[in-house]
Amino acid sequence: MKKTTQLKHMINRPELAFLMEAHNGLSAKVAEEAGFEGIWGSGLSISAALGVRDHNEASWTQVLEVAEFMADATTVPILLDGDTGYGDFNSMRRLIRKLEQRGVAGVCIEDKIFPKTNSFIRGSAQPLATIEEFSGKIKAGKDAQSDSDFVIVARVEAFIAGWGFEEAMKRAEAYRLAGADAILMHSALRNPTEILQFMKAWAGRLPVVIVPTKYYQTPTDVFREAGVSTVIWANHLMRSAITAMKGTAAQIFKDQALLNVEDKVATLQEVFHLQGESELEEAEKRYLPKHGRQTRAIVLAASQGEALGELTADRPKAMVNVGGKALLWHILDTYRAAGVKDLAVVRGYKKAAVNLTNVKYFDNDAYATTQEVASLACAVEAVEGDVIVSYGDVLLKKYIVQELVETDDDFVVMVDSNYHESRNKGRAADYVTCSEPSSKRAFYNTVTLKSVRPESDADVHGEWMGVVKFSQRGAKVVADKLRGLATEPERLRTMKLPDLLQLLVQGGHAVRVIYTSGHWLDVDSVDDVLVGAQF
C-alpha cells in the first residue's frame, strides 16, 4: 500500500489513529520501530533540531530536505507540518508537488499569516488569514496533487487566536468545502473543553485531528468517545532528546570521563542498526566485485582476562578501552583494512558487552571451564572456505593479515623470530620449533612447523603470534577435527589452539611458517593496554 493510501486510510477509519513526532531520519526510525503507524513531521521540532525558531526561520526547502531523509528512513507515512504553506496559493502548489516527489504522504497547513509563529507563543496576538484566502490555498493544493490519496489537513487556529467557537465552526466548514481531507482543531487550553464542544457540533462531517500538547492529562478514551480521528503526539521525541542530551553533556563535563554515562546511552550497535548498516553489508556482498576467494576471520574473545584486574570487572578483555576504542574494535578494523569483511567473534564472559556491529557472533557459554579450541568449536559452522583465526587480545599490523590472505597453503602460522624479549620478561608465550630458523635462506624456502612448546630452549625458533590461517581444504580438515572432538568432551574442554596445531603436525599436515619480527602485540597486562594505544 502506498504511503499516501496508508495515511488516508488511517485518518478515515473509525478506530483512533496516532502520529508520533519526528524531526530527522533517526527519530523517524525510532518512532516507526516503537510501533507507530505514522509520523508527524513537526515544524517546531525540525526548527529546534536546526537550532532556529519556529517562525519560518528554516526555509521550506530546508524543511523539505529533512522530510525527504525521514521518508527515506521509514516505511510508514509522514504527515508534514507545512506551517502556512510557506506563502500564497502558488507556493502551496509547488510545495505539494515537491512533497509528492520526496515521498511525503500528506501536509497540514494552518490558517495564519506567513511568516508564522508557534501557536503557544503569544497565540492570541497572531493574525489569521481570511477564510477566502486560506480556502483558495487548500483548493490550489488539491488541484496540484497528482496522487489522489495525498492528504491535505486544514488546521484551524480560531481557538488559539481567541476568536471563539463560532469562528472555529465557520472556518472548519469552509475548509471542508474547499476540499480538505481532514480538519486539525487546535487549542491552547489545559483541558479539552473547546475540542469537545467542536466535536459535538461538528458531528463527523470530516475527520478531525487533534494535538493534546496542553491538555495532556485528558484520558485518551475521551478523544476516542468524542469521535476524534487522529491524535498527534507533537514534540515529545525532540523534548526528551533535549533532556537526555543536557544530562549527558553535564555529566561528561563534570567528570571529564565517560564512565558514568556509557551505560546510560544507546550503544553504537543500536545507532548502526537504526542507520540500516546491516542492509549495506548485504548489498556489499551482492554488488561489490569479488577479488578471488574471500577470506573470513574468526576472533576468539570469550575469556575475561583476569590479569587486567578491574578493567575486566564489567567487560571481557577484548572490550577493554585501548586508545579510546575497544581492543576488539582495533582487531576487526585491521581485518577490514586488509580486505577481510566477513567477521565472526566468539563471545563468553560478559557477552552482552561484546556488541560491535557487522559481526556474526557465536557464544561459548562454558567459557569459564573451557579453552580456545572449545570456543572455536562453537563457531565450527564458520570454519569453511579461507579462514583466519586469531585471539581477541592480539593486535596485528595490517600487512600481517594481508600476507596471510595471499597465501595458498592449507595451514599457515605467523611466528615472531624476535622472541627473546618475551623470554626476558618472563611472559607466557607459545614457543615453537620450525623446520629451520629465521634467516635470509629461510626467506626463500618453505618453512614448516615441527612442534609447539619445545622442551629444550635450544630448539626454540620463535613465538607463535596467536594467528593461524586455513585454506578451504585446511578449514575442512579443522572442522572435521572439531566435530570429532565433540565426541570427546573432556579432551575438547582442555585443548588450546597450540594443541590443535600440534595435532595437525602429528597428523602429517604441513603447517607453513611465515616469520616476522615484531609488529604485533599480545595485550596481557595494564602496561600492554597503554602500549596498545600507540600501536
CATH number for position 457: 3.90.550.10
- Among residues 99, 90, 97, which one has the least CA distance to residue 140? 90
Q: Check whether residue 399 and residue 477 sit in a common domain.
A: yes
Domain boundary among 234, 257, 292: 234
Q: Domain containing 188 — which CATH number?
A: 3.20.20.60
Q: Check whether residue 244 and residue 311 sit in a common domain.
A: no
CA angle, 502 then 508 then 510, to 5°: 80
User: How far is it, in rounded angstroms, from Cα 524 to Cα 52?
Assistant: 51
Q: Which residue type, as a one-letter code, is found at position 514? A: I
Is 111 one of the annotated active-site residues of the chain?
no
Q: Check whether residue 222 and residue 259 sit in a common domain.
A: no
Residues with Cβ within 8 Å of residue 457, at least 6 apart in sequence: none
pLDDT at 301: 95
- Among residues 160, 58, 49, 60, which one has the least CA distance to residue 111? 160
Catalytic residue among 54, 83, 386, 524: 54
pLDDT at 530: 73
Overall domain count for the chain: 3
User: How far is it, in rounded angstroms, from Cα 372 to Cα 381?
Assistant: 16
Model confidence pLDDT, tens digit, residues 261-298: 887 888 887 888 888 888 887 887 788 776 567 899 99
Residues with Cβ within 8 Å of residue 355, at least 6 apart in sequence: 267, 268, 269
Q: Which residue type, as a one-letter code, is found at position 186? A: H
Q: Check whether residue 456 and residue 500 sit in a common domain.
A: yes
User: How far is it, in rounded angstroms, from Cα 200 to Cα 490?
Assistant: 77
Is there a contact between 108 and 209 (Cβ–Cβ < 8 Å)?
Answer: yes
What residues in the chain have per-residue pLDDT under 70? 117, 120-125, 290-292, 421-427, 532-535
pTM of the model: 0.65
Is there a contact between 123 and 160 (Cβ–Cβ < 8 Å)?
Answer: yes
- Grid cell 563468553 is found at 348
pLDDT at 182: 98
Is there a contact between 387 and 469 (Cβ–Cβ < 8 Å)?
Answer: yes
Q: Check whether residue 219 and residue 247 sit in a common domain.
A: no
- The residue segments making up the domain with residue 161 are 3-234
Q: Check whether residue 479 and residue 528 sit in a common domain.
A: yes
Q: Check whether residue 229 and residue 248 sit in a common domain.
A: no
Q: Which helix (H) or strand (E) holds 378?
A: helix 372-378
Residues with Cβ within 8 Å of residue 297, at least 6 apart in sequence: 332, 335, 340, 342, 343, 344, 387, 388, 389, 390, 401
Q: Check whether residue 280 and residue 324 sit in a common domain.
A: yes
Q: Check whether residue 207 and residue 243 sit in a common domain.
A: no
- Among residues 432, 396, 392, which one has the least CA distance to residue 415? 432
SS3 at position 88? coil
Q: Check whether residue 147 and residue 280 sit in a common domain.
A: no
Q: Check whether residue 192 and residue 323 sit in a common domain.
A: no
Is there a contact between 337 and 369 (Cβ–Cβ < 8 Å)?
Answer: no
- Grid cell 572455536 is found at 376
CA angle, 34 then 36 then 39, to 5°: 115
DSSP code of residue 183: E
Beta bridge partners of 321: 326
pLDDT at 290: 64
Beta bridge partners of 396: 520
pLDDT at 526: 75
Q: Which residue type, as a one-letter code, is found at position 272? A: F
Q: Check whether residue 459 and residue 489 sit in a common domain.
A: yes
Beta bridge partners of 388: 297, 469
